[in-house]
Amino acid sequence: MPSRSATAGPFNRSWGAYAFLAPALLILFLSLLLPAIATIGMSFTDISFLRPANWVGLDNYFRLMADGRFQQAIGNTMYYTLGVTFPTMALGLLAAVALNRKFPFRIVFRTIFYLPVLTSLIAAAVVWVYLYEPYSGPVNGLFVSLGLGPQPWLSSPNLAMMALIIMAVWRDFGTAMIIYLAGLQDIPEEIYEAARLDGASKFSILWRITVPMLGSVTFYLMIILIVQSFQVFGAIYVMTGGGPLGSTETIVFQMYQTAFGYTEFGYSAAMSTVLFFVILLFSLVGTKIMRRGEG
């Protein structure tokens, strides 16, 4: 049987580290964990912040299951997340590979590609509304000059989400590019040299060396983009208001509307809890796939 001093030893030896971590842990607990626990707790009530709250058990969750609008919001969120995540990563990777080579003005190109990330989301969204303007907007101007008809980008239930995805990819692929550029610096040049000596084509080098060796970066980026996309709100608020016909209403947008528009904070908390577990599930599945890949 181990002695008490033996089991207490590691803690006693690390108390200094715990002491240094304590302030950060306290802030994290107060700002992150406590609100998260409170939100989960609220999801079992009918809290409105105006009346005394009642315990309603799983009623909010049963309501969610039967709520067609919430199901539509889940579908919209998935569509948006997939639509943004993978094109952003692909474009980011291509831009990073291209700008990792040495050529004149590459810093200028890197800056230009990264600029949308630095732009205020709301300002960018307002500009994109004008770009998409169906009658005098430049996007439709381009379409017409190519012999294609003008499209009702933000006013068609079939096109509005796609229009939002295009804007998000434009805005986010600079982030992917920077992260991939950092990852590319870690790939030893010798590997590329060996591949070239073996006569590998440029595509083979990209596909068989660069992409696999950026695996951990790709995974990190994917999780970041998925979490970010699941939480989209600002662009939708400005550009479509969730319409037309709810085609751009995502979970977070619906949460906001339910909480502050309809003062149903309990129901909104249930939506938030579902979103939390969906994101957690995605993260866990991603981690598992990644570990299997590394194995």
Partner 1 sequence: MEKQNKTGLNRRQLLLGVAAGSLTLGLGGSIGRAFGQDQQLVFWSQFAGSKRVAGEALEAAFKEAHPERNLVSTLYAEPPQLNEKILTSINGNTAPDLFVQHWDYNLTYAAADRMLDLGEALSVSIDDLDPSLLAYGHINGAQYSVPMYGTSRGIGFNRAHVVEAGLDPENPPKTWAEFRDWAIALTKRQESGFLERAGFSLFHNDLEAWEVFTLFLQGAGGKLLNDDLSAPSFAGPEGVKALTFLKGLLIDDRVSDLGFGLGPGGLASPFNTARAAMIIAGNYSTNNALRAGIEFAVAPIPMENGGFTSLVDPFCYAIPRDAKNIEGAVAFVEFALSPEQQVAFAVESKNVPVLKSAQQDPAVQADPYLSKFVETASYAPQEAPAIPAFSRMVTIIARAVQEAMFGRASVEDALSAAAAEVQTILDRG
- Chain residues binding partner 1 by CB under 8 A are 48-51, 126, 129-130, 133-135, 150, 152, 154-157, 239-241, 243-246, 257, 260-263
Q: Considering the complex, what minimum distance in angstroms separates the CB of residue 252 from partner 1?
A: 15
Q: Which is nearer to partner 1, 119 or 156 (by Cβ)?
A: 156
Q: Which is nearer to partner 1, 87 or 134 (by Cβ)?
A: 134
Q: How far apart are alpha carbons 153 and 131 in whole angstroms?
A: 10
Q: Which is nearer to partner 1, 86 or 262 (by Cβ)?
A: 262
Q: Which is nearer to partner 1, 152 or 286 (by Cβ)?
A: 152
Q: Considering the complex, what minimum distance in angstroms separates the CB of residue 143 from partner 1?
A: 13
Q: Which is nearer to partner 1, 9 or 35 (by Cβ)?
A: 35
At a CB cut-off of 8 Å and minimum separation 6, what does 254 contact?
69, 70, 73, 242, 271
Q: Considering the complex, what minimum distance in angstroms separates the CB of residue 240 from partner 1?
A: 8
Q: Considering the complex, what minimum distance in angstroms separates the CB of residue 76 from partner 1?
A: 14
Q: Which is nearer to partner 1, 89 or 129 (by Cβ)?
A: 129
Q: Considering the complex, what minimum distance in angstroms separates the CB of residue 157 from partner 1?
A: 6
Q: Considering the complex, what minimum distance in angstroms separates the CB of residue 120 from partner 1?
A: 17
